[in-house]
């Protein structure tokens, strides 16, 4: 199955066990945090599978997961985030923020 880009957004100002969340995100092929409570990650799993992976960690939080296009995108984010997105799949690894 082909890797896809996803966005995860968690309701701001909530208590998130950061270590547990990072352990779950590490299941993805790679991920970056572009804003507080907002992550982009690469995976060949479905959004439903990711919901099931993240739900135990984000049990009482509101959160949203959606597949996004890496070719049809616009926004105002830090240059390092654009650089990593432009490199395509498995490009987030070992690039400093």
Ranges of each domain in the chain = 17-86
Look at residue 73 and give its three-state secondary structure: coil
Quote the CA–CA distance of 61 and 81 in Å, as a whole number.
25
Judged against a pLDDT cut of 60, whether residue 69 lies above it is answered with yes
Other beta carbons within 10 angstroms of residue 93's beta carbon come to 11
Q: How confident is the model at residue 94 (pLDDT cuts 50, 70, 90)?
A: very low
Mean pLDDT score, 63-79: 83
Per-residue pLDDT, 72: 74
**Sheet with 30-35: strands ordered across:** 30-35, 38-43, 4-10, 63-68
Average pLDDT value over all residues in the chain:
83
């Amino acid at each position: 199955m082909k890797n896809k880009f996803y966005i995860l957004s968690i309701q701001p100002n909530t208590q998130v066990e950061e270590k547990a969340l990072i352990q779950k995100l590490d299941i993805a092929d790679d991920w970056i945090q572009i804003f507080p409570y907002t992550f982009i990650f690469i995976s060949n799993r479905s959004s439903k599978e990711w919901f099931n992976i993240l739900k135990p960690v984000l049990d009482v939080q509101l959160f949203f997961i959606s597949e996004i296009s890496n070719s049809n995108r616009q926004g105002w984010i830090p240059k390092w985030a654009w650089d990593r997105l432009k490199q395509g799949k498995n490009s987030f690894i070992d690039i400093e923020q």
